[in-house]
Chain A
């Protein structure tokens, strides 16, 4: 049985037995070749569900729109880490999510009307092919996880540049930002009731779509995701002006992994480093 059939069968079963009234998964987009999110509320809709290597969206964030209701959701391994993040940060209850985990074949690069053959950057460096949590697993038994010798090659390359070069690089990147906030809106970790850039009284970040504010926005967001980004690359993928946002997030992931031996979303229980404090912590400040 293929992934699509397995997912449809489980979705139908859950909807028919009324353990949930909504299965969030994927269906074919109007370009006929890529995928888009689908909220299936009935059996007929469940029959529109698909899964293939174009299903790039991380659907975890949608669960926040259904707080207090039981929601079934299709997750890839990276998306499953986002569910853990939300559990870990007490945004959702485990009893309210029914998780169809997919042993992930890797997602290919896609665009409107375009399905590439190459795996996405995130998938090339992926070290988690089986979801970290699930209620029902599709795509066959968990396989041994691959070893990627150095998943931070791109970060190291950037670290090798001078401060002036790095500044010039990011100024150029942020100069294109149109502050559409797609990066925030798609991010499972960006769920603040009021984002710091939407704070109007007092105004924390100006409304200008211009270099200073653009930098403030993009770096502020990156820092808010330190030790919280689960590495799904959704922000980078949706950016309409192609800012390599994952590079910032991965730099902070590398730092927080080294410092706290913590990787976001791997467990729902491990205390997140920036929500806890240990007296004996030594962060090298002032040394």
Chain B
């Protein structure tokens, strides 16, 4: 027996969710599928593989003001940024929800990033289980899976005429009124099998591959744009800058990426990571060596976005295979 919500009731529920919260869900923006605030439930697109950009923007916005400083009555006042509204993200895929668990490791480790914590605390996640696996997904090789409920508050699995519902947290209970649910004799379909990537033991292999000429060979074709980092649900690097005028200072954080040629340039123009190969190695060593060394899991959820979006086909699946095949370097 399963808890069930009909398609019709789901629409009614979405209407209610949007009344006192921001409702965010996949929607068409020109030809893109993005997580955006929803005005009417009809705009939500749920027949999707996944969105073009990850939902991380709702927790780690492309640009946000961290705090501002204002002069008032001869005094200088620091005004921290506040996340005011509750948000519910509807239709998030399990890989992206896991992306938030990973993003939270650096951002919520003490001392926690105050603004990230507010975004995370004030947001609930209603997930949508994957019934098919895209050919470039590899979530099961990255410690997740098409029906992985972790990080979610509610998981929906599509069945005929509606969804099988799993309410997973207290937050989830508060989102979904019991009167919309019924108990039916329908089982959720089994998860699909995404393709496999040989991730087992990759951390040690990456350590051995540190000095390999492989990185500069792969970097040959890399154009060093920031697409991979910006579509990634787990990449978390940023730049900070103060915007000032005579009355006010605003400290602003914006996305940045280790692939950007200016990212590591420091005072007097020195750049400790000044070759294409060094930047390429940084991206994959951060994902497959440094992050697991510090936090445990690999810094990738296997969503496949970077694979799909890279203009020159730098493919993390191929890189993992190549590194696994490398002999130990002396």
Binding site for B on A (CB under 8 A): 29-31, 34, 36-39, 57, 61-62, 65, 112-113, 176, 178-182, 184-186, 194-195, 198, 200, 203, 206-210, 237-238, 240-242
Interface presence of B29 (CB below 8 A): yes
**Of A112, A180, A242, the contact of B32 (CB 8 Å cutoff):** A242
Interface presence of B262 (CB below 8 A): yes
3 nearest CB pairs, A to B: A182-B225, A36-B313, A209-B62
Which chain B positions have C-beta within 8 A of A57? 311-312
Q: Are A178 and B255 in contact (CB under 8 A)?
A: yes
17 additional A-B pairs beyond A36-B312, A112-B136, A240-B230, beta carbons within 8 Å, are A30-B313, A30-B317, A36-B313, A39-B221, A61-B223, A62-B221, A112-B307, A113-B135, A178-B62, A179-B62, A179-B255, A182-B223, A200-B262, A200-B265, A206-B252, A241-B53, A242-B31
Please, could you name 27 A-B residue pairs with CB atoms under 8 Å apart, sorted by A? A30-B318, A34-B313, A36-B221, A37-B312, A39-B217, A57-B311, A62-B220, A65-B220, A112-B307, A112-B308, A176-B29, A176-B30, A178-B226, A180-B226, A181-B226, A182-B226, A182-B227, A200-B262, A206-B241, A206-B243, A207-B63, A207-B252, A207-B254, A208-B254, A210-B62, A240-B230, A242-B32
Q: Are B221 and A38 in contact (CB under 8 A)?
A: yes
Q: Are A186 and B262 in contact (CB under 8 A)?
A: no
Interface presence of B261 (CB below 8 A): yes
Interface presence of B199 (CB below 8 A): no
Q: Which residue of B lies closest to A201 (CB)?
A: B267
Shortest beta-carbon distance from A199 to chain B in Å: 9
Q: Are B262 and A198 in contact (CB under 8 A)?
A: yes
Q: Are A182 and B311 in contact (CB under 8 A)?
A: yes
Q: Which residue of B lies closest to A112 (CB)?
A: B308
Q: Are A181 and B260 in contact (CB under 8 A)?
A: yes
Which chain A positions have C-beta within 8 A of B262? 194-195, 198, 200
Interface presence of B224 (CB below 8 A): yes
How far is it, in angstroms, between the C-alpha of A193 and the C-alpha of B31 when the chains are bound? 34
Shortest beta-carbon distance from A202 to chain B in Å: 12
Which chain A positions have C-beta within 8 A of B261? 198
Shortest beta-carbon distance from A207 to chain B in Å: 4
Shortest beta-carbon distance from A121 to chain B in Å: 14
Shortest beta-carbon distance from B329 to chain A in Å: 19
Which chain A positions have C-beta within 8 A of B227? 180, 182, 238, 240
Q: Are A65 and B309 in contact (CB under 8 A)?
A: no
Q: Which of A37, A38, A113, A178 has the most chain B CB within a 10 Å cutoff?
A: A178
Interface presence of B315 (CB below 8 A): yes
Q: Which of A62, A179, A185 has the most chain B CB within a 10 Å cutoff?
A: A185
Chain B stretch 42-79: residues in CB contact (< 8 A) with chain A: 52-53, 62-63
How far is it, in angstroms, between the C-alpha of A198 and the C-alpha of B223 when the chains are bound? 16
Which chain A positions have C-beta within 8 A of B239? 207
How far is it, in angstroms, between the C-alpha of A246 and the C-alpha of B201 when the chains are bound? 45
Shortest beta-carbon distance from A49 to chain B in Å: 13
Which chain B positions have C-beta within 8 A of A65? 220, 276
Given the known inter-chain contacts A178-B230, A180-B226, A185-B225, please indicate yes or no for A210 contacting B317, CB distance below 8 A: no
Q: Which residue of A lies closest to B255 (CB)?
A: A209
How far is it, in angstroms, between the C-alpha of A62 and the C-alpha of B254 when the chains are bound? 29
How far is it, in angstroms, between the C-alpha of A186 and the C-alpha of B52 when the chains are bound? 20
Which chain A positions have C-beta within 8 A of B52? 240-241
Interface presence of B231 (CB below 8 A): yes
Q: Are B225 and A186 in contact (CB under 8 A)?
A: yes
Q: Which residue of A lies closest to B263 (CB)?
A: A198
Which chain B positions have C-beta within 8 A of A62? 220-221
Which chain A positions have C-beta within 8 A of B276? 65
How far is it, in angstroms, between the C-alpha of A91 and the C-alpha of B262 when the chains are bound? 21
Q: Are A238 and B311 in contact (CB under 8 A)?
A: yes
Shortest beta-carbon distance from B182 to chain A in Å: 40
Which chain A positions have C-beta within 8 A of B308? 112
How far is it, in angstroms, between the C-alpha of A185 and the C-alpha of B314 when the chains are bound? 15
How far is it, in angstroms, between the C-alpha of A57 and the C-alpha of B223 when the chains are bound? 11
Q: Are B32 and A241 in contact (CB under 8 A)?
A: yes
How far is it, in angstroms, between the C-alpha of A179 and the C-alpha of B229 when the chains are bound? 12
**Of B29, B220, B260, B313, the contact of A29 (CB 8 Å cutoff):** B313
Which chain A positions have C-beta within 8 A of B221? 36-39, 62
Q: Which of A38, A57, A241 has the most chain B CB within a 10 Å cutoff?
A: A241
Q: Which residue of A lies closest to B231 (CB)?
A: A240
- Bitwise, B199-227 to A at CB < 8 A (1) or not (0) is 00000000000000000010011011111
How far is it, in angstroms, between the C-alpha of A43 and the C-alpha of B45 when the chains are bound? 49
**Of A37, A180, A203, the contact of B241 (CB 8 Å cutoff):** A203
Q: Which residue of B lies closest to A186 (CB)?
A: B223
Which chain A positions have C-beta within 8 A of B135? 113
Q: Are A30 and B63 in contact (CB under 8 A)?
A: no
How far is it, in angstroms, between the C-alpha of A181 and the C-alpha of B262 when the chains are bound? 12
Chain B stretch 224-280: residues in CB contact (< 8 A) with chain A: 224-227, 230-231, 239, 241, 243, 252, 254-257, 260-262, 265, 276
Q: Which of A113, A203, A209, A237 has the most chain B CB within a 10 Å cutoff?
A: A209
Shortest beta-carbon distance from B183 to chain A in Å: 41
Q: Are A207 and B231 in contact (CB under 8 A)?
A: no
Q: Which residue of A lies closest to B225 (CB)?
A: A182
Q: Which residue of B lies closest to A45 (CB)?
A: B217
Which chain B positions have C-beta within 8 A of A200? 262, 265
- Bitwise, B297-312 to A at CB < 8 A (1) or not (0) is 0000000000111011
Shortest beta-carbon distance from A28 to chain B in Å: 9
